[in-house]
Every structure is written in C-alpha cells, then in structure tokens.
Structure 1
C-alpha cells in the first residue's frame, strides 16, 4: 500500500525520514508532494524509490493513507483539492493540532485521525499523540499505532487535551532546549567554562535524566528529592528557581493555549464551522 505525505517541510520530512530509517516504510511505498516541489525532489534524490509528484491530487488518488503536514491556514485548500479523490476506505491523518476532527469529518468522506508528532521522533524516541475520528475502527487505530510505534511511543489522548499534551510532547523539546541553553550560557558567563564543554555536559545530563524518568523508575518529584540534600547546594538552587519561576510555566501554557485558540478560530472561519467549542 502506498502512503502519501502532503507537505515536506520540517515535520513532514521528519516523519518520512523516520519511517524509512526505522524500517516501517520502504522508500518505494512513499509518495510526497509539496507546494515547492523542489523539497520533495530532494527527498526523492536522498531515498531512491520515493516518488515526488507535482500535485496533492496525485497523492490522494494513489494512496490509501495520507499524512497532511501543512500549516493550519493552508489546510482547507488541501482538503478541497483532495476531496474528489479520497474514498471511504482512505485514511487522512492531520499532524496539525488546530485542525479539529470535526473540520475533517465534515469535509471529507473518509476515515480521519490526528497524529501530533515530536522532533524526538526523528531519533525514534518520544511520544506521538494519537486522536481518532468516529470512522476509525479499532483495527484502523491499531494499524496506525503500529506505524507510529516504529518511530516513538503512540499515546492516545482526547482532542480536548490536544493543546496541553502537545505542549509537553511536541513543544517541550524546544522549551527544554531553551532551559539547557540558558544553563550553558550561565556556566560560560559565571565560571568561564568553554561553550562546547558546557553544551556537551548539559546534553549528557538531559539524556541521563530522561533515562532516570523512564527506565529508572523515578518521577520528577522523587528524582528531585533523591538528588537534593537538605541544606545543600542543589537545594539552594531549587529554592531560587521556586521563587523566580513560580508562575512561569503556568503563563507559558496560557500563552500557547491563547495562540492555539486563535488558530482554531481562523481554521473555523475557513471551514465555515462557526465558533470554536471543545
């Protein structure tokens, strides 16, 4: 069966390359289109057998499963293009969180789902959020989760929690990388540690911490308690962060939710769905 990808930007490319690298897909089973075909052509050159095509219609007419990897405000245009070419047996998968299942189910006659990937899937790790429309049978869901499971851990979530779960799994790597960069910058500024050495140490620290929180059996709270000695250096640092960052993460999620609601409202207007409600 051919699997199509409409959009070969950052996340579309991550998905294609990860599926191929993991062995979940052979290049010959992948068909890709992009607004700028040059990007799809680059993937075809890198993975012989992968077919780059000129239009989204060609993807829809050829593939039983289609990942749509475009920005929210481009989605309606893509849906309108492919609608005449999909059948009830086709599965269309959005990786764009502000495009809701009701937008897809009201506009397409096929099975629909959402998979919200993470940049961590590029190293065959991390979570991938799975959200299903009513036309997806349990067998359909299992098949998709097998595919997604080759590049990460599929986690079923309800659509009403799309934003907050995405904040953790998809946005989290950027937020964590920002924290790590600030820790590195501080080490360079305060103690003169070489940037490269500080970055290497911080990166290994993040890797090891991730293992402790998964395979090691720790929770964030138990890990903090295990490491911080009462009256010690770590506790002093934690007390400062508690004071300075008390509401930072709440405000962070409030900012991402506000942007999400703004995007959903714009998508609603395009699909003619009225006021956003969840």
Structure 2
C-alpha cells in the first residue's frame, strides 16, 4: 500500500514518525512532498527509504492513500494542482478541521475522509477523530481505522462535532500543558519547590489520572469523591476551582468556534472561486 504525505510540517512529520515507529507503514511505501525541501529532507534523514518527490502531483499520482497535511487556506491550491491525476479509487485524508468534506468531494473525484490527529499519537496514545464522506466504502473505513489504531484510538464522529471534539482531543494537550505550567510556576514562586520537581509531579499525576479515567473505569465525579473528603484540603481546593472556572470553558469554546467559523468563511470563498473558474 503506497501512502503519500503532502505537507511535512509539524503534524505531517508527527504522523509519519508515529506510523513508522508503530510498524503500521514501511519507509519504502511512503512518498512525501513539501514546498520547503529541507523539511522533507529532515524526515528522509530520520527514515532512509522514504521517497521525496519533486511535486504534489507526483506524490498523488501513484498513492492509494493521500494525507493532506497542509494549512486550511492552502487546500484549494493543492487540490487544484493534483485533481487531474486523482481517481475515484484513491482515498484523500484531510487532517484539517475547517475543510469540509462537501468542499473536498466537489473539488476531486476521490474518496474523502477527514481524520483529525493529536500530538498524543507520537506516544501511540489519544483519540483520532474520523469523519467519512459519501464515497468511502466499508473496506476503506476498515483500512483507515486499522492504520489509525496503530497509533491511537479511532473515534467516529459527525462532522458538525469536529470543532468541539478537536478542542478536547487535539487542542486539549496544549490547554492542559498550559494549566500545568502555570500551576508549577505559581507553586515555585509561593513555596520554593523546584520547578522541575513540580512539573514532574504534575506530569505523573496527569498520566495516572488518565489511566484511572480510562483503564480504571472511574468517572470524573467518582474520582473526585474518592480523593475529596468533605471539609478536607481537596474539597477546599475544588471550591476555589469551581469559583474560578465558572465561565472559563464557555469562553474558550466561544473563542475556538469563532476562529473556526472565520476559517470556514474564508474557505467557502476560496472554494467558490475555484468552482467559478471551471
């Protein structure tokens, strides 16, 4: 199975590294293209056998699965470039949330899937969000989910849930890391604990908490009850968090959805321009 990656930036290179590390793909069956050659060369340097091609057209022409790992506003240009070499038997995988499946199906003849990855896949963890277009066949879904299962836990969602699901699974690691950073810095300033020790304790706590909520079968409410004694230290801390976080997550969701909708509007205009040029 030949797989192409068009775009080898942060997430494209992460997926390549993760698939190869897991053994799901072999270097000799991967080809990559990128407008910045040095990024592609860095990946090929880590994984001898990966083929760097000179153009997106060449990457798309010979591959069964084509991962489009470019920025949302670059999609119309890339699709215009490769559409003439695509067939209805190939699978295009978009890893970008604002690009709608309907837009892609109107632009190219191929089978379309949208799979939103997470940085957690670099340690073969986390959920990958899977949304399928109308042309995807059962065997295509099986193929894609087997591939993603090697580095993640695939979760099928509706396209209208993409933004909020991405907030949690893909943006979430950065949000939680930001909270941990602030917590550790404040602990260092107020108590003198070594910052590295505070970060290590927090990281190990997050790892264990994740296992309790998944492998341990505890719900968030159950976990709080197990740790928190009425009138105790944890209960006092939860009271502070409850007061301080009352509208934080509604504001966060409003902000991410506003940016998402702005991107949708820009993409609608770009794809409409392409349709009008035909």
TM category, shorter: over 0.9
SS at match of 1:179: helix
Residue 222 of structure 1: how far off its partner (Å): 1.1
- 1:193: how far off? 0.3
Matches within 5 A, 1:1-278: 1-272=1-272
Normalising by structure 2, we get a TM-score of 0.97
How much has 1:224 moved relative to structure 2? 1.0
The 2-side partners of 1:10 and 1:49 are apart by 20
Q: Distance in 2 between matches of 1:224 and 1:86?
A: 52
Q: Secondary structure at the match of 1:272?
A: helix
Q: Distance in 1 between matches of 2:257 and 2:23?
A: 36
1:241 Cα deviation from its structure 2 partner: 0.9
- The alignment yields a C-alpha RMSD, in angstroms, of 1.1
1:68-103 residue CA offsets vs partner (Å, 9 max, x unmatched) = 001011010000111011101010000000000011
Paired with 1:18 and 1:266, the residues of 2 have a C-alpha distance of: 32
**Kept after mapping to 2: 8 A contact 1:125/1:151:** yes
- Scaled by the length of structure 1, the TM-score of the pair is 0.97
Distance 1:186 1:213 in 2: 27
What stretches of structure 1 move > 2 A for 4+ residues in a row? none
Alignment match, 2:276: none
Q: How many residues align?
A: 274
CA-CA distance at 1:189 after TM superposition: 1.0
Q: Distance in 1 between matches of 2:165 and 2:260?
A: 13
What displacement does 1:183 show?
Answer: 1.2
1:31 touches 1:53 (CA, 8 Å); kept in 2?
A: yes
Q: 3-state DSSP class of the match of 1:28?
A: helix
Q: For 2:76, what is the secondary structure of its paired residue?
A: helix
Once the two structures are TM-superposed, the CA of residue 210 in structure 1 deviates from its matched residue by: 0.5
Q: Deviations over 1:2-23 (max 9, x none)?
A: 1000000000011000000000
For structure 1, the residue ranges without an aligned partner over 5 or more in a row are 274-278
- Supply the distance in 1 between the matched residues of 2:244 and 2:44 (Cα, whole angstroms): 49
1:53, distance to aligned residue in structure 2 (A): 1.2
Please report how far the alpha carbon of residue 233 of structure 1 lies from its aligned counterpart in structure 2 after TM superposition: 0.5
